[in-house]
Structure 1
Amino acid sequence: MLRSCAVFLSILAASACVPRSMTVGDAVFAPRLEHGSAVTAAVMADGARLPILSFEPGNPRAVIIGLHGFNDYANAFADPGPGPWFAGRDIAFFAYDQRGFGRAPGRGHWAGDRQMARDLVEIVSLLRQRHPGAPVYLLGESMGGAVAMRAMALPEAPVVDGLILAAPAVWGWKTMNPFYATVLRIAAHTVPSVRLTGQGLDIWPSDNIEMLRALARDPQVIKETRIDAVYGLVGLMDGAYEASGNLGVPVLFLYGARDELVPSGPTAAALEAMRGSNAPVTALCYPEGWHMLLRDLQRQTVWDDIAAWIDGEDLPSGRRDLRPCGTLALD
């Protein structure tokens, strides 16, 4: 989507505006979960209600919190996503709609990377209280991976046992083509409410065509994106990139050789920074993997590797060689 910014050169003479972020209220409540037989939502300190999709076995041996990608929502982890599969293996899986996406408040508007990270901190705390003693892992897909990384840079970072980063979005200002960055900055400050559709771009996020068609039909998936939301996303990716060397917990890093959305260059640089930290990093490349690794046709292989990593076992795929992923280096 960012690669289409050049089309806005013809409208840079528009009247001056500023990127708009959604309004977030003051902290006046104690955060809480809404639940009956299953968790249905998390209510944040400002009263914002973030819907939760939960797959919860009776006595889970671990907890995964799923963070969806840009313009998506928690349903990304429902079938054909991994939520039910992990629950069938006694691993509780929770995914929530982040502010601005799906059924959460402020649909279509950017909440700010710090607010999104703070929401994650609160949700981790609430789910730890629900399942005391169970190890907790963050599974972030694309933008969700960036939110997880950004949260680890907060002074009040979430208490988790590991990060699972599936094609994390780390293509920020520092690694973006200067021309694209300049056009996006100007457009965000002149025509922030103009919406992008991505039509006409020959970019494929997955080889799972049936799943992509379902996304196109899903009314909760955002199809037209405000420029200032893209601008906010790049800022988040920048923060995630900066946090790469200070995550402080074990990391499982997943990337597909066919990824057409997050370039391998900044991905390799972020991975190198992670390896320079004190926390252990396991990095996997899937030669037939695309950007949406968790829902690609070979998704089962990815899920098996995640479960094995959580359990401290040898990874079934055995794909530790990152050479098929371009500039990514071998462990």
Structure 2
Amino acid sequence: MKLRYILTVLVLAISQSGCMPAIYPPGAKNNAAQLGENTFLTEDGARLPLRHWLPKNEPRAVIIALHGFNDYSRFFDTPGQYFSSQGIACFAYDQRGFGMAPNRGLWAGGETYTNDLQALVRLVKQRYPKRPVYLLGESMGGAIVITAMSQAGMPDVAGIILAAPALWARSTMPWYQTGLLWTLAHSLPWLTLTGEGVHVVASDNIDMLRAMGRDPLVIKGTRVETVYGLTDLMDEAFNSAARLHGNTLMLYGEKDEIIPKEPTYAFLQRFLETNPAEKTVAIYQNGYHMLLRDLEAPTTWKDITAWINASPDKLPSGADSRARQLLKLS
């Protein structure tokens, strides 16, 4: 009764406020995109902070890494150092609305995020024309990679790596959750949520989580309209399962408390129906949502490196065998 009363009051508020969740898209395309030392300059002139981890010698492969929701490019610092030591060049940038990118805390729209990624892929391929380029997306970044790969304008890449991609689509949420989100987004889109009181464990790496809590560039309070935009993105990524083709490695932790198993496994079943030979799924028994930064993160780094090398029949950790067992695959 209490929830119904709250929803009724908020619906009435909508009729009087006329608010709508906003998207803050880029401006006009007035220059060529450029890849600088510490900046990715987009076609509309936005300067997105860029980090890189380069091997001492000419790289044998390149990874473009996309961070998760409310995070920024620093997420890839330790993994990037490892991959560069293995001869793999790595790039990561602050996406619009996150880190030190423009319009902090505001949602730029799924199309904008995928267009930015496409532009950077073109620039990296120009810099390394003879090297295979891989896309790696963590959580929200994974949803962006999935969506971008489903679009006609996406440049060819050697493969994609999805680390606990954000796939919690509305179709897999309870009605009261989608209803409340819609109501808030259309009545109080500016309302800021902090997540206090929500008891979920994102990682077993407590020192890393505490460091994120102290980091001023990690967003702690989120506008409802931004959550609404993220949910739109997750819808699109979830519904792209059957359209996702090409060499793909997907990583998921059995202890993930951020992206539930139901939407993830539902996505995987449809994802693996088409060209399963191109797709590798790894499920880590002791893995949390932040697989690349968990205490056992080096295990995932080694699996990714082995997959890029295309040398083993199985991943070193055996997480692909675990996935076949859990998903009941032959």
TM-score range, shorter chain: over 0.9
- CA–CA distance in structure 2, aligned partners of residues 6 and 295 of structure 1: 40
Q: How does 1:65-214 map to 2 (within 5 A)?
A: 65-79=64-78, 82-214=79-211
CA pair 193-248 structure 1, distance change in 2 beyond 3 A:
same
Structure number with the higher helix fraction is: 2
TM-aligned CA deviation for residue 6 of structure 1: 9.9
For 1:34, the equivalent position in structure 2 comes to 36
TM-aligned CA deviation for residue 246 of structure 1: 1.5
- Residues 1:254 and 2:251 aligned together: yes
Native 8 Å contact 1:6 1:183 kept in 2: no
More displaced 10-residue stretch of structure 1: 248-257 or 216-225: 248-257
Q: Secondary structure at the match of 1:134?
A: coil
- CA–CA distance in structure 1, aligned partners of residues 106 and 115 of structure 2: 17
TM-aligned CA deviation for residue 325 of structure 1: 9.3
For 1:22, the equivalent position in structure 2 comes to 24
For 1:320, the equivalent position in structure 2 comes to 320
- CA–CA distance in structure 2, aligned partners of residues 139 and 167 of structure 1: 11
Q: Secondary structure at the match of 1:321?
A: helix
Q: How does 1:263-274 map to 2 (within 5 A)?
A: 263-274=260-271
- CA–CA distance in structure 2, aligned partners of residues 273 and 128 of structure 1: 30
TM-aligned CA deviation for residue 322 of structure 1: 3.8
Unaligned stretches of 5+ in structure 1?
none
Provide Cα deviations, 1:40-59, integer angstroms capped at 9, x if missing partner.
11111100111111001230
- Structure number with greater Rg is 2
TM-aligned CA deviation for residue 330 of structure 1: 3.8
Query: Given residue 209 of structure 2, which amino acid in structure 1 is its aligned partner?
Result: L
For 1:293, the equivalent position in structure 2 comes to 291
Q: Percent identity?
A: 47
TM-aligned CA deviation for residue 8 of structure 1: 7.0
Q: Secondary structure at the match of 1:305?
A: helix
CA pair 329-224 structure 1, distance change in 2 beyond 3 A:
farther
Provide Cα deviations, 1:289-324, integer angstroms capped at 9, x if missing partner.
000000000000000000000001222112223469
CA pair 323-95 structure 1, distance change in 2 beyond 3 A:
closer
- CA–CA distance in structure 2, aligned partners of residues 54 and 6 of structure 1: 50
| Number of corresponding residues | 320
TM-score after normalising by structure 2 = 0.93
Native 8 Å contact 1:256 1:325 kept in 2: no
- CA–CA distance in structure 2, aligned partners of residues 45 and 8 of structure 1: 44
For 1:281, the equivalent position in structure 2 comes to 279
For 1:63, the equivalent position in structure 2 comes to 62
Native 8 Å contact 2:10 2:183 kept in 1: no
- CA–CA distance in structure 2, aligned partners of residues 324 and 200 of structure 1: 36
- CA–CA distance in structure 1, aligned partners of residues 116 and 131 of structure 2: 20
- CA–CA distance in structure 2, aligned partners of residues 121 and 59 of structure 1: 24
- CA–CA distance in structure 2, aligned partners of residues 169 and 142 of structure 1: 5
TM-aligned CA deviation for residue 278 of structure 1: 2.5
More displaced 10-residue stretch of structure 1: 244-253 or 85-94: 244-253
Provide Cα deviations, 1:237-281, integer angstroms capped at 9, x if missing partner.
111111121122111011001000101111011111221123611
Query: RMSD value over aligned CA atoms?
Result: 1.9
Provide Cα deviations, 1:195-231, integer angstroms capped at 9, x if missing partner.
1101111101000000000000000000000000000
- CA–CA distance in structure 2, aligned partners of residues 329 and 294 of structure 1: 25
Query: Given residue 199 of structure 2, which amino acid in structure 1 is its aligned partner?
Result: D
For 2:222, the equivalent position in structure 1 comes to 225
Native 8 Å contact 1:153 1:247 kept in 2: yes
Structure 1 consecutive aligned stretches of length 4 or more whose deviation exceeds 3 Å: 5-14, 321-326, 328-331
- CA–CA distance in structure 1, aligned partners of residues 213 and 325 of structure 2: 28
Query: Given residue 24 of structure 2, which amino acid in structure 1 is its aligned partner?
Result: M
For 1:53, the equivalent position in structure 2 comes to 51
